[in-house]
């Protein structure tokens, strides 16, 4: 499968408003998913299953849940969602203190400067800004959970 072939398929999908295309053969597996117009179309192109030297298949290694510290969130399984991710490592808190209101609840409208949560790192309470505009659809982590860099915190639309 050449890049030109893939481009042609992508155009066809857009033209006919198709959302998913899969093709499998002995040497290749291709899956294209399409979602809202302003996101990238190509989501997943699998590594070719065979190597020219008749050698064992290159394993597709997944870090899996072993790669997260105990208590860190499992990332949302649908890659199509837009998320706000942790920019630092630390402990996630939904509000400034146990008795104050949460910064962001489901349904809240946020803009780039809105403070949406606190991540405590080394005893410093860092206010985390949304950096994006939209409406909070889902909260992916629990209060007082440990988060690593890049951990998805909120789903935003």
Partner 1 sequence: MFEKILIANRGEIALRVIRACKDLGVKSVLVYSEADAQSLPVLLADEAVCIGPAPSSESYLNYKQILSAAEICDVDAIHPGYGFLSENADFARICNSCNIEFIGPTPEQIISMGDKAPAKKKMIEAGVPVTPGSDGLVADVKEAQKIAEKLGYPVIVKATAGGGGKGMRIAHNNASLVKGYHAAQAESQNAFGNGDLYVEKYIERPRHIEFQILADKHGNVIHLGERDCSIQRRHQKLLEETQSPVLTPKLRAAMGAAAVKAAKGVGYSSVGTVEFILCEDGKFYFMEMNTRIQVEHPITEELTGVDLVKAQIRSAAGEKLTIRQKDVVFRGHAIECRINAEDPYNNFSPRPGVVELFIPPGGIGVRVDSHVYSGYKIPPNYDSMIAKLIVHGNTREEAIARCRRALDEFHISGPGIKTTIPILKYILGREDFATGKYDTSYIEKIFDKFLATSE
Nearer to partner 1, 2 or 99 (CB): 2
State the minimum distance, in angstroms, from the CB of residue 146 to partner 1: 4
Nearer to partner 1, 26 or 99 (CB): 26
Nearer to partner 1, 18 or 57 (CB): 57
State the minimum distance, in angstroms, from the CB of residue 120 to partner 1: 9
Q: Which spans of this chain sit near partner 1 (rule: CB under 8 A)?
A: 47, 51, 53, 55-56, 58-61, 63, 66-70, 72, 88-91, 121-122, 146, 148-151
Nearer to partner 1, 47 or 74 (CB): 47
**What would the 3-class secondary structure string for the chain be?**
CCHHHHHHHHHHHHHCCCCEEEEECCCCEEEEECCCCCCCCCCEECCCCCCCCCCCCCCCCCCCHHHCCCCCCCCCCCCCCEEEECCCCEEEECECCCCCCECCCCCCEECCCCEEEEEEECCEEEEEECCCCEEEEEECCCCCEEECCCCEEEEEC
């Amino acid at each position: 499968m050449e890049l030109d072939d893939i481009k042609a398929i992508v155009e066809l999908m857009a033209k006919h408003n198709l959302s998913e295309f899969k093709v499998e053969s002995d040497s290749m597996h291709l899956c294209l998913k399409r979602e809202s117009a302003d996101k990238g179309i190509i989501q997943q192109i699998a590594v070719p299953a065979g190597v020219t030297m008749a050698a064992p298949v290159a394993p597709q290694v997944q870090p899996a849940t072993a790669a997260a510290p105990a208590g860190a969130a499992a990332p949302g399984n649908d890659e199509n969602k837009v998320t706000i991710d942790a920019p630092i490592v630390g402990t996630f808190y939904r509000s400034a203190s146990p008795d104050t209101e949460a910064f962001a609840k489901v349904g809240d409208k946020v803009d780039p400067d809105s403070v949406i949560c606190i991540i405590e790192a080394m005893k410093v309470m860092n206010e985390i800004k949304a950096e994006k505009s939209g409406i909070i659809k889902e909260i992916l982590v629990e209060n007082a959970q440990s988060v690593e860099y890049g951990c998805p915190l909120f789903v935003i639309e």
